Amino acid sequence: MYLNALGQSILVINSLKSAAELLDQRTSIYSSRPRLIMGHEVLAGGLFTAFLPYGDLWRRARRAAHQGLTKLAVRKYDTILRKESVLLASALLKNPEAFKKHFERSAASSIMSILYNYPTLETEYDKTLKEIHSFIERMSRAAAPGEYLVELFPWMMYIPERFAKWKYEGRRYFTQHTTMFESLFNQVRDDISNGSERPSMSATLIKNPDRNGLSNREMAWLVGTLYSAGAETTSTTMDWWALAMIANPEVQKHAQAELDAVVGRSRAPTFSDAPHLPYIQAMVKETLRWRPALPLALPHTTTEDDWYNGMFIPKGTMCLANLWHCHHDPAYYGDDAASFNPQRFLDAEGKLIPGSAETRDEGHGTYGFGRRACVGKHVANESLFIYMATILWAAKLERVRDQHGYEVPLDMVAFVDTGMVFKPVPYSCQITPRFPEVPSILEEEKENLKT
């Protein structure tokens, strides 16, 4: 679907086939980003990697991120993710009412540990975490269409700061954000100097400073971008997953039967169980398909004129992959495309089916397309797998009942728009241990995973 908004060409892509043919197969034309003046140029000083236009700086930053987040490289973080999964399951059983906060804390803590070797966050009220989340909120608002007039009237960038409060505050925040990201990054540098560092993305960059030609500030912002891109999307995906679990108890029981058969009840799941837990792996794929955190993904921009199926696509067109429509297309996912059904990713024998070429074997388009596909997808897949497996091994997630014993209705479609990420509307969830030994086993696992 082609639109023109105040002179801006917009192409909305509503099928995985078209998204793959344009964004994957024509990457030389479709790999840039639209200009984002407030969110990228002002608030981030042009250093927010996800919003960088296609060019030399983006290529160097992307190469650096990829080297630290390959499928093989992320295996060294398995202990961190297992530890966080056990802490998460334990917290959910101790204080189930705050389950959303537990998802946020766990996602933030694991990513901070992977990126900065940051100590485990015991609470979501950590000062550094609050500062980073304030930054993410500002970026999300700034990226929302129509939030700032300067996006529609770029000439406003030339207004002096004393007459443009938005510009003055944005640049002040850029200085504040840079200080925060450089402080976290330089702390890892200090840890390396005194011999106390452990594996982290920052350490990988610091030990290879000339490999990608990035300055200290560019590396600090690269790592900050990775946190911003991963923490909120992971916690939001877990939030949608929990909603799916209480709305589909038969799916939950199927997964728990698989866990009992493979893992048993004397220990929590590990990554070595993954090949024998295809239903859990399918559940991860189905959650990402059913409710992508960014239903319109991040926009691409054409750098040259193009033609597609007889239609002209001019240079500078903003291309939006409508993942919501793509993922709920009955022609691609079947008549039950609107339902949560992990079985769609399994064959008749219960084995995982490779995803289609259009989805790069993922089975969904949530991680994006072409050269702009999510570089942290391996961390995301690992995190979601071990979180879901551990929680379902340890707990039952059920709908809350009212004072008359009736199940409280759930809204499975409504969402809260935070600017870029779409979250489910607030709901309640009852979480209880699956068997009496769960709390003691989790405590024992926590002791064994201490580092």
One-letter amino acid for residue 305 of the chain? D
pLDDT value for 126: 80
Distance CA 442, CA 19 (A): 44
Total domains in the chain come to 1
One-letter amino acid for residue 144 of the chain? A
Quick one: pLDDT band at residue 73, thresholds 50, 70, 90? confident
439: its two tokens: 């709390």
Range of the domain at 31: 2-448
The pLDDT of residue 131 is above 70: yes
Q: What is the percent of the chain where pLDDT is above 70? A: 99
Distance CA 311, CA 2 (A): 10
Report how far apart, in Å, the C-alpha atoms of 106 and of each of 42, 81, 401 are: 31, 9, 27
- How many CB atoms sit inside 10 A of residue 372's CB? 22
Average pLDDT over residues 181-196: 92
For 163-175, the pLDDT digits (tens) are: 999 999 999 999 9
Of 45-54, 108-117, 206-215, minimum mean pLDDT range: 206-215
For 252-290, the pLDDT digits (tens) are: 999 999 999 999 999 999 999 999 999 999 999 999 999
Structural contact between residues 96 and 430, judged by C-beta atoms closer than 8 angstroms: yes
Of 19-28, 30-39, 138-147, 270-279, minimum mean pLDDT range: 138-147
Residue with tokens 């072409």: 370
Closest CA to 234 of 382, 60, 394, 409: 382
Instruction: Bin 354: left if φ > 0, else alpha if -120 < ψ < 50, else beta.
Output: beta
DSSP 92-107: HHH-GGGHHHHHHHHH
Structural contact between residues 73 and 67, judged by C-beta atoms closer than 8 angstroms: yes
3-state helix/strand/coil string of 127-162: HHHHHHHHHHHHHHHHHCCCCCHHHCCHHHHHCCHH
The pLDDT of residue 451 is above 60: no
- At 13, phi and psi to the nearest 5? -100, 120
- How many CB atoms sit inside 10 A of residue 167's CB? 21
For 83-94, the pLDDT digits (tens) are: 999 999 999 999
Of 200-214, 252-266, 340-354, minimum mean pLDDT range: 200-214
CA 281 to chain centre: 17
DSSP 437-449: THHHHHHHHHHHT
- At 129, phi and psi to the nearest 5? -65, -40
326 is in an annotated binding site: no
Q: 388 or 194: which carries more pLDDT confidence?
A: 388
Strands 395-398 and 430-433 turn out to be antiparallel
Distance CA 83, CA 103 (A): 14
Quick one: pLDDT band at residue 184, thresholds 50, 70, 90? very high
Give SS3 for 300.
strand
DSSP 380-407: HHHHHHHHHHHHHHHEEEE--B-TTSPB
Closest CA to 360 of 77, 105, 16, 87: 16
Closest CA to 204 of 78, 382, 67, 62: 67
pTM above 0.85, yes or no: yes
Q: 59 or 419: which carries more pLDDT confidence?
A: 59
Find the CATH number of the domain harbouring 173.
Answer: 1.10.630.10
The pLDDT of residue 300 is above 60: yes
127: its two tokens: 């000062």
Distance CA 74, CA 110 (A): 12
Task: List CB contacts of 10: < 8 A, sequence separation 6 or more.
Answer: 2, 3, 4, 317, 318, 319, 320
Task: List CB contacts of 214: < 8 A, sequence separation 6 or more.
Answer: 60, 61, 64, 205, 222
The pLDDT of residue 147 is above 90: no
Average pLDDT over residues 120-142: 82
Q: What sign does the CA torsion over 213, 218, 223, 227 have?
A: negative
Mean pLDDT of the chain: 93
